[in-house]
A and B are shown apart, each in its own frame.
Chain A
Amino acid sequence: MDGMFNENFILGCSAIGAGLAVIAGIGPGVGQGIAAGHAAAAVGRNPGAKGDVTSTMLLGQAVAETTGLYGLLIAMLLLFVKPLMP
């Protein structure tokens, strides 16, 4: 049993886990795209409010990005800190 779960096995599984964790980036990508699309529509309807629309969009996008960043953090922890290593 001990021979099966050696360090290389854990390292490989950590790399696979890191890859899976970064899939979290799909959500923020879709969300930011939707926000940018609606902002473009808003500017088209009311070009005078371009500054306000842009800053609101950037703020919302940055908040939406957080979930993706959590996935990225997990991936980095798995790859560089290696918490699963004995």
Chain B
Amino acid sequence: MGTGMLLSSEDLGFMIEGIFSFQIGDHTLWITTSHICTLIVLLTLIIFSFFAKGAIKKGADVPGVFQNIVELIVELLDKMVSSTMGWSAYKFRNYIGTIFIFILFSNISGLFGLRPPTADYGVTFPLGVLTFTLITVCKFKYQKPIGVLKGLCDPWPFWLPINLIGDFAVPISLSLRLFANVLSGTVMMALVYGLLKVVAYAWPAVLHVYFDMFSGAIQTYVFCMLTMTYISDAVGDEVKA
């Protein structure tokens, strides 16, 4: 008990469980289900991208099924990014596409019996921090330090602390939204399976469609949409130099 957030020793299906531990100095490091599930998701994506690269390199004039699918995915992501971000889209296409595919696969992995990695605050918070870093760097790069200071003292100078809190709330609310949504889906599925036992036969598939696929896709879309909105806010609508 009390080894960390949701890392307790109860037998309730949705907890993060330690697989094995090792000692470094006087610290105990746990390899948990989140690590394993993240690795599985990453391996799937790496293998997929390997094949996708091969298919695109061959580049048949009449594309096959797989090449069509890959081109469809890339075109969809490109369209989404460029319709939201305007002139700066070409710089952030790779980042947005990467986090979109990673979060989507993580959310959907509940369908395949994994514990979704995004239901661990240790996975979503780094994603939020990544976005926050990108926003801050873009602010300093495109608005120059003077512009950043002006933005912080927006209506009046004594508004500065409130604006600062607003800035630092961005990664926390981004990551908590994703985490809580996926976690609530995971917990509800675990309760359905754990408490109903025999009665939970076949019909929970409907719940899976809602919690894993619909909710997961929506949350992925929302995370990427908010990231893009914040970044294009930071970049400003400067004309392409």
Residues of A within 8 A of B (CB): 55, 58-59, 62-63, 65-66, 69-70, 72-73, 76-77, 80-82, 85
> How distant is the Cα of A70 from the Cα of B181 in the complex, in angstroms?
10
Selected from B6, B15, B184, B226, the residue in CB contact (under 8 A) with A69 is B184
Residues B180 and A58 in contact, CB atoms below 8 Å apart: no
Residues of B within 8 A of A66 (CB): 173, 176-177
Residues A65 and B177 in contact, CB atoms below 8 Å apart: yes
Residues of A within 8 A of B12 (CB): 80
Residues of B within 8 A of A58 (CB): 218, 221-222
Residues B177 and A69 in contact, CB atoms below 8 Å apart: yes
Query: Is B225 in the interface zone, CB < 8 Å from A?
Result: yes
Residues of A within 8 A of B225 (CB): 55, 59
Residues of A within 8 A of B10 (CB): 80
Residues B177 and A62 in contact, CB atoms below 8 Å apart: yes
Residues B219 and A80 in contact, CB atoms below 8 Å apart: no
Residues of B within 8 A of A80 (CB): 6, 8, 10, 12, 15
Residues of B within 8 A of A63 (CB): 177, 222, 226
Q: List 15 A-B contacts (CB under 8 A).
A: A55-B225, A58-B222, A62-B218, A65-B181, A66-B173, A69-B176, A69-B177, A69-B181, A70-B180, A72-B184, A76-B183, A76-B187, A80-B8, A80-B10, A81-B6
Closest to B181 in A: A69
Query: Is B5 in the interface zone, CB < 8 Å from A?
Result: yes
**Nearest-CB distance from A10 to chain B (Å)?**
14
